[in-house]
Amino acid sequence: MFTGLVEDLGSVAAVDATADGARLTVRTRLAAELGAGDSIAVNGVCLTAVELTPEGFTADVMNETLDRSSLGAATGGSPVNLELALRADGRLGGHIMQGHVDGVGTVAAITPDGLARRISIAAGPELLRYVVEKGSIAIDGVSLTVATVDDEQFSVSLIPETLARTTLGATAPGDRVNLEVDIMAKYAEKMLGALAR
């Protein structure tokens, strides 16, 4: 489980892709806190550290993850948002996240918003059905509050701290971003659907 509070802005050291998936090597200052088999969110995708070095870790990425997220487009040098799994005694500073990316959205527009920057993300109806104004959403693993939503897109406003500490500060229109909707919305839909039958 994760909370969407990015702990390090790491970088992809290598991507070894095959027809069976990919092996992703990431440089991070969090390496000393990882053990073999530990979970770590990479741009919001929960991966398992399978090899460790003092400079980072390596994770295997299956085709399902490559198809559903933007990790398939990662290349050497790509910056990535990193978060260690939440400890039982940790603070839940963002919102409950699983690191199970629901799909990919596209940055539609970026506009100044006072001291902040507003980013509009286009997404499909299969994701937007779970997005509500003032609700939570994860974009590339960053826990954010939805500012607006309509039938084609939603927007979030990012403070300077978020822009400086995450990959979202360098995002541009046309960029693809990982989206994880609020898990509670998905469970509520399934339970209410069962009651309606």
Q: For 48-57, 71-80, 153-162, which range has the lowest pLDDT when averaged over its residues?
A: 71-80
Taken in order of first residue, the domains within the chain and their CATH numbers are: 8-84 (2.40.30.20), 103-196 (2.40.30.20)
Q: Are strands 153-158 and 116-122 parallel, antiparallel or unpaired?
A: antiparallel
Question: With DSSP H G I counted as helix, E B as strand and the rest as coil, what are the percentages for the chain, rounded to 5?
Answer: 20, 45, 35
- Model confidence over 50-69: pLDDT tens digits? 999 999 999 999 999 999 99
Instruction: Note the helical H segments in the chain.
Output: 63-68, 125-128, 160-165, 183-196
- Model confidence over 105-127: pLDDT tens digits? 999 999 999 999 999 999 999 99
How far apart, in whole angstroms, are the C-alpha atoms of residue 108 and residue 189?
Answer: 28
Is residue 197 over pLDDT 90? no
pTM for the predicted model, two decimal places: 0.94
